[in-house]
């Protein structure tokens, strides 16, 4: 999932280095662009709006946010050190001139219950939702998905105000990081009669849900039309992972090894 980008005028004069220091001022209608699902993105003032917790809250477990955050940060660190996919994405970003400092570019935050992560191009930061993403495997999935958005923003100069741009990066993230035969089957996008098209259907379904979550001001048909328009161009684009990953396979390890051939500065 992605957030709103700053204006094209600001972006046209920004270098890759300047993107990281661009003003973090939020759009006027923050809810339209998904910021309402990420309360910590609203700035320090939102913290005062959060209800205070009593001793009872802490005793019953409702005050464990700080522990969830610590666990999330540990999982992020482990993925950065050990996950072939995360290391591949970080190497590809570094080779594109957009290296990552995990203390600056990855944040564990509390989010709405219906999201697991996001990419904020204004802050140039990946968000992992510590209240909904509990396991190392889930953290790896969120990081891979959101780092694809970061890569597209760095490499392809995306404008997230453009619905077709948003649809394209969501197609790529779903294509490279989510859909396999099993996930397509579970989501109802596959059967014995459409094996050939099951992956494309899964990608479209995942991209649609992500676009609708990120852009509350549009209709479902508008999102579908944008996805269908850019799908023929964006679906075949497998950079930088280079392959569609099958569940319970060695594909992510193969992709990691192949990254060296593409000149990625992989840690």
Q: How many C-beta neighbours within 10 Å does residue 230 have?
A: 21
Any idea which of 52-61, 79-88, 106-115 has the lowest mean pLDDT?
A: 52-61
Instruction: Say whether 231 sits in a helix, a strand or coil.
Output: helix
Is the predicted pLDDT of residue 195 greater than 70, yes or no? no
* Nearest partner of 224 among 213, 208, 237, judged by Cα: 208
- Verify whether residue 170 is a known catalytic residue: no
Query: What was the pLDDT predicted at 9?
Result: 34
Instruction: Report d(CA 114, CA 40) in Å as an integer.
Output: 16
Instruction: Report d(CA 2, CA 16) in Å as an integer.
Output: 18
Collect all residues with Cβ–Cβ distance below 8 Å to 193 and sequence separation of at least 6: none
The share of the chain scoring above pLDDT 90, in percent, equals: 48
* Nearest partner of 245 among 181, 185, 193, judged by Cα: 181
Task: Write the pLDDT tens digit of every residue in 226-265.
Answer: 999 999 999 999 999 998 887 777 888 899 999 988 889 8
Query: What was the pLDDT predicted at 29?
Result: 56
**Mean pLDDT for the chain?**
78
pTM: 0.78
* Nearest partner of 148 among 182, 108, 128, 118, judged by Cα: 118
Domain presence at residue 2: no
Domain that holds residue 140: 8-47+54-238+249-262
Residue indicated by tokens 């494309």: 200
Domain presence at residue 3: no
Residue indicated by tokens 């910021």: 35
Residue from 109, 110, 146, 170 carrying the catalytic annotation: 146
* Nearest partner of 129 among 147, 149, 143, 148, judged by Cα: 143
Number of domains the chain is built from: 1
Instruction: Report d(CA 32, CA 9) in Å as an integer.
Output: 21
Using 50, 70 and 90 to split pLDDT, how confident is the model at 20? very low
Range 135-143 average pLDDT: 92
Query: What was the pLDDT predicted at 256?
Result: 92
Domain presence at residue 194: yes
Torsion of CA 131, 134, 137, 140, to 10 degrees: 30
Here the tokens at position 70 are 């610590």
């Amino acid at each position: 999932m992605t957030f709103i980008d700053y204006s094209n005028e600001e972006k046209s004069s920004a270098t890759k280095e300047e993107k990281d220091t661009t003003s973090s001022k939020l759009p006027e209608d923050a809810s339209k662009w998904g910021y309402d699902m990420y309360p910590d993105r609203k700035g320090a003032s939102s913290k005062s709006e959060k209800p205070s917790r009593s001793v009872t809250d802490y005793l019953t477990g409702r005050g464990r946010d700080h522990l969830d955050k610590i666990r999330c940060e540990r999982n992020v660190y482990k993925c950065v050190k050990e996950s072939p996919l995360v290391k591949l994405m970080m190497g590809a970003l570094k080779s594109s001139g957009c290296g990552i400092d995990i203390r600056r570019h990855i944040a564990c935050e509390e989010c709405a219950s219906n999201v697991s992560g996001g990419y904020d191009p204004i802050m140039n930061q990946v968000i992992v939702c510590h209240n909904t993403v509990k396991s190392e495997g889930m953290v790896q999935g969120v990081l891979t998905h959101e780092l694809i958005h970061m890569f597209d923003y760095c490499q392809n100069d995306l404008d997230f105000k453009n619905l077709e741009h948003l649809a394209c990066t969501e197609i790529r993230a779903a294509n490279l990081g989510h859909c396999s035969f099993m996930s397509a089957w579970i989501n109802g996008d596959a059967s014995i009669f459409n094996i050939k098209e099951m992956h494309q259907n899964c990608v479209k379904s995942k991209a649609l849900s992500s676009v609708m979550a990120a852009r509350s001001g549009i209709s479902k048909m508008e999102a579908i039309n944008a996805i269908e328009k850019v799908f023929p161009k964006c679906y075949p684009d497998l950079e930088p992972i280079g392959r569609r990953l099958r569940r319970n396979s060695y594909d992510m390890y193969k992709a990691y090894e192949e990254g060296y051939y593409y000149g990625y500065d992989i840690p």
